Chain A
Amino acid sequence: MKLKSLLSLLAAVALTGTALAKDIELLNVSYDPTRELYVDYNAAFAKYWQAKTGDTVTVKQSHGGSGKQARSVIDGLQADVVTLALAADVDALYENAKLLPKDWQKRLPNNSAPYTSTIVFLVRKGNPQNIKDWDDLVKSGVTIVTPNPKTSGGARWNYLAAWGYALKKYGGDDKAKEFVGKLYKNVPVLDSGARGATTTFVQRGIGDVAISWENEAYLAVKEFGADKFEIVVPSVSILAEPTVSVVDKVVKKKGTEAVAKAYLDYLYSDAGQEIAARNFYRPRNAGILAKYSANFAKLDLFTIDDVFGGWTKAQKTHFADGGIFDEIYLKK
C-alpha cells in the first residue's frame, strides 16, 4: 500500500514536472568546420535559455559540406535553423522549396552573419615552399589542397578570394580567370568539404599548402601542434560571411519559432560573440574583436558585394553548371 502511494506520488511529481518545464529540441544544420564552435555555443545557449524560461533545450547538430547540407534541408531534413557557409546556400532554401522568405538575410544584423572569417593558407612547418602570398600558389611544382566549390562553401570563398586578389593586382576578369586557372592546375584532389580537405592535408600529408578558412587553419594548428603547421596570411583576402537563418516552415510546424529565433539572436550577444572569437571566428562586436586581436591578423579584406556584386551573381557566373569554374577545371 505504502509503495503504491509512493509510486503514484512520484508519477504525479513527474507529470507536473513535465507540465512546468518543457523539453525542447532544436536541429542546427551547419557546415563543416563549425562543429567545435556549436558544441560550445549550444551548451552556453541551453544554460541561458533555462535561466530565462526554465525550459531545457537540446540542440542537435548536423555537419557537412555547406551545399550538400542545404540540399538535405531542401529534401526534408527538419532543420529549425541553418548556419551555413554562405548566403547562396540559404538562398537555395527559398528558391527550391520556399522554406523561408526571400528577404531572410535582412532579418538579422550584419547581413545575417553574426561572425566572419577569411581565407588564409596553412603550410607545413618552416614553410618549405616559401609561400607568402597568392602569387606563390600558381608557381609550378606547388601542390594545393582545396575542396570542391560545387559542394563546399569554404571552397567557393577560396576561389573568390583568389579571383579578387588577381583582379586587384592584374586588373580585368580575363587576367583573373587565367590566374585562377593556373591555381587549380596545382590542385591534385578536390574533397567534398572543408574538413575533408584539412584532413587530406594534415593527416594524409598531401599538398604543400591548404587554402582554408582562417578558423579551420587555427583549429588544425591547435589540434596538431604549432610544431607541425604554420599559418600564412596573404596580403589580400575575402571577408567571408557565413550566414544564419531560422527555417520558417519547419519551426512553424514544430512550434519552435521563439526558441529558434532566440538561438540565433544570442549569437550576437556578448557571450555568443565571445564564444565565436574563442573558436577563431572574427566577432562582429568591435570590443570583443579588439580583445582577441592577437588571433586575427590585419589584412586587406574585400567583400563579395563590392567585388562580385553579391552571392546570387557570383554563384551564377562562377559555380553554376557551365560556369567559369567548370570551364577552368574541365579544361585541365
Chain B
Amino acid sequence: MATTVTHLKAQLGDDAPVSRATRDAPWVRWSLTAVALLFLAGFLLLPLAAVFTEALRKGLGVYFCALIDADALAAIRLTLLAAAISVPANVVFGVAAAWAITKFHFRGKNVLITLIDLPFAVSPVISGLIYVLVFGLQGWMGQYMNAEHPWLPWFQQWLVGQDFKIIFAVPGIVLATTFVTFPFVARELIPLMQAQGSDEEYAAVTLGASGWQIFRRVTLPNIKWGLFYGVILCNARAMGEFGAVSVVSGHIRGETNTIPLHVEILYNEYNFTAAFAMASLLALLAIFTLVLKSVIEWRYALSHKS
C-alpha cells in the first residue's frame, strides 16, 4: 500500500497520473497486439505479398510485357479517364453539398444527407443495373427512342440521329464510377465543417466579404486537408470499382475494360502472371493512397496544432 502511494506520488510529481485501472496486465497488452498483428499479416500483408510474387514469378521482363500489352494499356487509360472525370465531378458536388448542408438552414436537409449516403447503402451491382434499366435498349431511353408517338418528337429524332452510346461504352463506365464514389468527398467534409462551425464566415461577412471571397479565403483553407483526404479515398474507390462497372461494361477487350475487369479476364484466360501484374498496379495504387493518406493526416494534425 505504502509503496503504491509513493509510486503514485512520484508519478504525480512527473505530471503523469497513472492508476492500475488504466493499465492492463502485460500479457493482455502483448496478446492483444499479437492478435492485431497476426490479423494484419494474414489478411493484408500475405495477400499483398502473394500478388507481387505471382506477378513477378516469371521475371521482370514478363511483368513489364504484361503491363505494356495493348489491351492492358487500354484498360489503364480507361481507368485513369474514369477517375479523372468522376473525382473532379464529385469534388465539385461534395464541396457544394457540404457547404450547403453545414452553412445554411433549409427544408429537406436530412433528405439530402440521406440521398448522399445512398450509393453506400446499395450494392454496386444494383448501381450498375440502374443505368442498364435507364439507358439500355429495353430501358427508358430505348423505349423513348423507339416510341411511335414520343413526347418531344424533335428530341427523339435528334437522339436517334446522334448514335451516342451510354451503357456498354465509356460514358456508362464514367457514370457508374461517379455514382459509387459519390459520397466520399461530401461525407468527409460534412462532419469537419460542422465541427468548425460558421463563426469565421460570419466574421468575414461583417468585414464585407462577398460569398466567393468567403469561400476562397476562409472556408477552403479550413477544409483543405479534409478535402484532400476525401479526394484520395474517392480516387482509390474510382480506380478499384468492380461490380457496378462490370454490369455496364459489356466486357469489350481493349475498349470497355477497366483494370479490375481486365484482371478478371486475364485470370479467366489462365494468364495468371498478367492477371497478377495488373492486380499489382491496383495494389501499388492502394499503397500509394495509404502513404498519401498518412502524410495528409500528419499535415492536418500539424495545421491544427498551429
Contacts and interface: CB of A to CB of B under 8 A. Distances in A.
Chain B binds chain A = yes
A27 B163 contact: no
A35 B267 CA distance: 12
Which of A72, A78, A199 has most chain B Cβ within 10 Å? A72
B137 A60 contact: no
Interface in A129-157: none
Contact of A97 (B132, B137, B163, B265): B137
A96 B139 CA distance: 12
A75 B130 CA distance: 12
Contact of A78 (B142, B165, B251, B270): B165
Contact of A27 (B167, B252, B270): B252
B194 interface: no
Contacts of A196: 268
A99 to B, nearest CB: 9
Contacts of B163: 253
Interface in A49-67: 60-64
Report whether over half of chain B's contact residues are helix, strand or loop; otherwise say mixed: loop
Contact of A96 (B138, B168, B250, B252): B138
Nearest to B254: A60
Which of B139, B167, B269, B270 has most chain A Cβ within 10 Å? B270
A224 B271 CA distance: 11
A223 B270 contact: yes
B251 A64 contact: yes
Interface residues of A, number: 24
Given A62-B250, A62-B253, A76 B165 contact: yes
A212 B43 CA distance: 34
Given A74-B137, A76-B142, A96-B138, A61 B268 contact: no
A61 B70 CA distance: 14
Contacts of B252: 27, 60-62, 77
B254 A76 contact: no
Contacts of A195: 268
B78 to A, nearest CB: 14
A35 B165 CA distance: 25
B136 interface: yes
Given A74-B137, A75-B132, A97-B138, A63 B167 contact: no
Nearest to B250: A77
B102 to A, nearest CB: 41
Interface of A: 27, 32, 35-36, 60-64, 72, 74-78, 96-97, 195-196, 199, 219, 223-224, 253
Given A63-B251, A75-B168, A76-B136, 12 more contacts: A60-B255, A62-B253, A74-B137, A75-B136, A75-B139, A76-B168, A77-B168, A77-B250, A96-B138, A199-B267, A199-B268, A224-B270
21 contacts: A35-B269, A60-B255, A61-B252, A62-B251, A62-B252, A63-B251, A63-B265, A63-B268, A64-B251, A72-B168, A75-B136, A76-B167, A77-B250, A77-B252, A78-B165, A96-B138, A97-B137, A199-B267, A199-B268, A223-B270, A224-B270
